Amino acid sequence: MRRILLYSAIVVFALVLLYFWITPPNQRDILVVWIGLGITAVCAITLTLVAYDVFSAWRGLCALVIAHVASQVWLQWQWDLWNSPVVLIRNLNVIAGLVLAATFFAMLVSITLLLIVRDASVIALGMAWLGCPALLMVSALRYRTFETLDVMPLREQITLIVPMCLLFLFAGAGGIAFLVHLLALGIKEIGRCQ
């Protein structure tokens, strides 16, 4: 069953990528785009959960981060492809965007698995504790005012939203995981004392 789910998710994701690559943008309405993003999210989450032995380890998360950063770099480097008259070339950015979304959802699941399986709550809290001020300082140096943040172009929003979401996940889920593991250790210690 696990293998069937794995291959099904891979095939469906490949079909979604193929569809968005060969279909011109004017033939896709907003509903089709949202359905494609939804299917991408379901496939990414399914793949991550089915292959939990890989993605509940640090090497799995690192592979997802590398794929995510590569798609971010592609989008920033090839942003002008959105204006290409050739549909297949313009849609390469759409493919990069779908890979970006898929790796983002997979990273969320992988981090959650790490928090549950590997007790990475202290690492997550440390990353949030260091990352939030660093992101705030970088944003303040770059944008100066909140008004500038409101009119930030999509190209820059893509690079800023992912670290913000991950830092909130680290802080929230890391705190919950820390309390759960602390409670479990307390119950074990009480059981040993009796």
Q: Which tens digit of pLDDT belongs to each residue from 1-44? A: 788 888 999 999 999 999 998 888 888 888 988 999 999 999 99
**pLDDT at residue 149 is higher than 70:** no
* Two tokens, residue 87: 């549909």
- Single-letter code of the amino acid located at 160: L
Global pTM value: 0.80
- Calpha distance 174→155 (Å, rounded): 29
Name the E strands within the chain.
Answer: none
Tell me, what's the pLDDT at 45? 93
**pLDDT at residue 80 is higher than 90:** no
* Two tokens, residue 83: 């204006």
Tell me, what's the pLDDT at 133? 84
